[in-house]
Structure 1
């Protein structure tokens, strides 16, 4: 799991040629949007933490990065696949090569952005979850 919790970490990732270009582009777009919508002295890490799933990562790594499971309803513990499952994210989008899930955790807008590559090698349960709800 690639976790980026400061502006410097995000900027370093954006410039890292060894990272997937689609991931770098998505990070650049979101970092720019957040910078445009906030005061200049606000640290990006105070607004959002970005987590990119890497090959071999699964639900355990996602839960460790976010602090909660994305495949369990936070209110009553219903698991993904059950008819009563309600996702905990604010929104999910499918971009070129990635699913983006946004979790807003506080009234001040702080949240986590989970980026899941839409490719082989990613936990099939995680991909199925994303594909089931992405717009």
Structure 2
């Protein structure tokens, strides 16, 4: 079965040996995506909502590179460092998926690679085979 990969160009992909997303048939798996800005730093430190939106924008671009988009997402996993801020993370998620809600899990974790990161998001999508 053919595999198609896309990369976002962050240093993490090279350092850790992974791609941003991979398409296998009509399934797309997007790696855990952190809120990285264009210069490689953390986007919007201490802003849970903005960081989640940034993660989802990076994910959307990866999906589009592979012939899909956010409405094709069937599962999201949101890893957060402070579950008490769940409403901020959830608002960004709802705004992105409101009309096409996927299955979702939000889990509090101890930490991410950079202490300024509050969230990391991974998704799975299913799209038409011919796209």
With normalisation by structure 1, the TM-score equals 0.29
Larger RCO: Structure 1 or Structure 2 (Cα < 8 Å, ≥ 6 residues apart)? 2
Structure (1 or 2) with the greater strand fraction: 2
With normalisation by structure 2, the TM-score equals 0.29
